[in-house]
Amino acid sequence: MRIAVFDTHPYDEQALNAANLDGAHTLEFFEERLHDKTVELAHGFDAVCPFVNCRLTEPVLQRLQQIGVKIVLLRAAGFNGIDIAAAERLGICVARVPAYSPDAVAEHCFALLLTLVRKTHRAYNRVREQNFSLDGLEGFNLHGKTFGALGAGRIGQCAMRIAKGFGCSVLAYDPYENQQIAKEVGFEYVTLERLLEESDVISLHLPLSGQTHHIIDAAALARTRRGVIIINTSRGGLIDSQALIDALKTGQVGGVGLDVYEMEEGVFFHDLSDRPLQDDTLARLMIFPNVLITSHQGFLTREALHAIATTTLGNAASFERG
Ligand code: NAD
């Protein structure tokens, strides 16, 4: 299969070439993201292989179909950037990588959480300037605190296992309960309201959809414990950023770790590198010393990249076999 791989970094090339050692597929790599301005690059390919922040709207999918593309091999789990109904209408198959390494994202969630509660980001910056002062670096133990997972799927379960390891009590809200897993991991399913009211840490592990958009809004934040820590490694649109900024100002929220942000979805059509964000929300969030932002890198481990590459090419092979 001839596959046009979009939004690539050297590590994608390395992982995909390693997974294609037998040369079963012809791979061409493009740094560009796949959207309306770059769709013509897909000429002459059977498949496109975009990454998480692609924007495959109906017109883009229509164009892909016209130029002979038969399948979208998404190198990610979240498919909120693809108009699935349009793809179905147009007869374009969409495959994704539902679970490449839940541990990678769950561990990143704890990287953010531990940094925030022990303020190591602030200490790191100080020590680099030969400042060993402890002022303002008082943190708190995770042991004995309540960790609330919004979403108890693959990543949520991994995060809850880690939280149990730290000695946290663990609550989860998920409309699709699996009591067997709850027993095995040792968490309790509760209502969204109870999770908001009882958690010291709220971590988001659910997909972005019409139902979950702004699930954390001003009303939800008003119900939380004062000083709650919020971690989002899922999708930016799950949190109302303005409400979050307001709650940080009043101290209702005591710390925020974000690997994803609303504006990512707003810049779908552009590369972050060559176009500054029009929205200043990120800058307004970064003013707070208790806000820690990373660059949607939860997935970025050696193990996850290997799994993404092998599953993606496995999806291509399954498609070829019909
Ligand atoms: P998953 O499908 O295994 O689990 C999602 C869970 O959310 C399911 O159990 C589902 O029942 C639950 N859910 C659905 N609607 C809900 C609602 N309204 N309230 C509460 N729970 C709800 O997905 P996953 O593999 O655990 O991934 C979770 C999210 O992590 C994905 O949606 C993706 O956006 C994100 N993700 C981020 C990165 C990253 O690099 N930061 C990498 C991979 C995935």
What are the pLDDT digits (tens) for 101-135? 999 999 999 999 999 999 999 999 999 999 999 99
Q: With bands split at pLDDT 50, 70 and 90, how would you rate the model's confidence at 278?
A: low
In angstroms, the CA 203 to CA 151 distance is: 9
CA of 63 to the centre of ligand 1 (A): 30
From the CB of 160, is ligand 1 less than 6 Å away? no
Beta-sheet pairing, 71-73 with 169-173: unpaired
Is the distance from CB of 166 to CB of 113 less than 8 angstroms?
A: no
Q: pLDDT band at residue 272, thresholds of 50, 70 and 90?
A: very low
CA distances 162 to 48, 93, 109, 159, Å, are 36, 36, 10, 5
Q: Which residue has the tokens 């899922």?
A: 234
* Mean pLDDT to the nearest integer, 188-216: 96
At 75-106, the pLDDT tens digits run 998 788 899 999 999 999 999 998 889 999 99
Length of the chain: 322
Q: Would you state the pLDDT for residue 165?
A: 98
pTM here is 0.89
Is the CB of residue 243 less than 8 Å from the CB of residue 221? yes
Question: For ligand 1, atom 15, which residue shows the shortest CA distance?
Answer: 206
CA atoms within 13 A on the CB side of 100: 27
**Burial bucket for residue 179 (CB in 10 Å: 0-12, 13-18, 19+):** exposed
Beta-bridge partners for 27:
3
Measured from the Cα of 157, ligand 1's closest atom is 26
- Under 8 Å between Cβ of 2 and 319: no
Respond yes or no: is residue 63 known to be catalytic.
no
The structure tokens 């016209």 sit at 66
Q: What integer is the mean pLDDT of 282-286?
A: 90
pLDDT of 270 over the 80 cut: no
